[in-house]
Amino acid sequence: MIFSLGASAQFFNSWGLMGGGTLAKHKFDYKEPDVTQKKKNRLGFNVEVFAEFFTNDHFTWRTEFEYNKKGSIDKDSGDFKNKLTYLSWNNYLKMRTELFGGTPYLLLGPKLEYLLSQGTSSPTITGNFNKFQLSPDVALGWEFIVFTNVKPFLELHYNPDIGLNAYKDNNLAIKNRAWELRIGIRFASARESCPRVYK
């Protein structure tokens, strides 16, 4: 029984909340004529809840659920706003190192998105975006040193559609691209509340 509880504690590391701004835009690829248009950025927002697992000093695994506003502003066809709302399940390998001033880290992993709503006014978008979308996400983060179990942090994410199109018809293919700036808090285990002793 004691071994089982210890193993569970080591497997589950921490959990947290975060949110921030999303700067997103679209790339329109036309077949006829053979033209690529990069649309203007649209500012949205994102909210996440996450959990981290394993207690390795340099590697952990994070899984999170995210509500995210993406889209673009189409000034090539007029002044049209394309609004997309996604709910996504994101999984990351977290690579971190502890320094005296804080803890920098790198996140790398896939993002599986489900389209909750679509409000597209560009005249060339005549159908629906894909309900599901799989894309990579990479992020740089910085966790601030505080000697409590509540750890504040900042993250910058880059999430481009690579390979798969978010939208496709006979003449048009569209890809998402988004930058996310997040701020959050992580509720760490009790053992992280005390300062590390460096030898």
- Rounded-to-integer distance, Cα 51 and Cα 137, Å: 17
- Does the global pTM surpass 0.85? yes
Band (191; pLDDT cuts 50, 70, 90): low
What would the pLDDT profile of 9-29 be if each residue is shown by its tens digit? 468 899 999 999 999 999 999
Identify which has the larger pLDDT, 79 or 7. Answer: 79
Structure confidence at residue 199 (pLDDT): 46
Give alpha helix (H) positions in the chain.
Answer: 2-11
CATH topology of domain 14-191: Porin (2.40.160)
Band (3; pLDDT cuts 50, 70, 90): very low
What would the pLDDT profile of 64-85 be if each residue is shown by its tens digit? 999 999 999 999 988 899 999 9
DSSP string covering 114-132 = EEEEEEE--TT--SPPPSE
Share of the chain above pLDDT 70, in %: 90
Q: Is 126's pLDDT higher than 50? A: yes
Q: Where do the structural domains in the chain lie, given as residue ranges? A: 14-191
Structure confidence at residue 143 (pLDDT): 97
- Rounded-to-integer distance, Cα 117 and Cα 168, Å: 17
The rounded mean pLDDT for the chain is: 91
Average pLDDT value for residue range 55-61 = 89
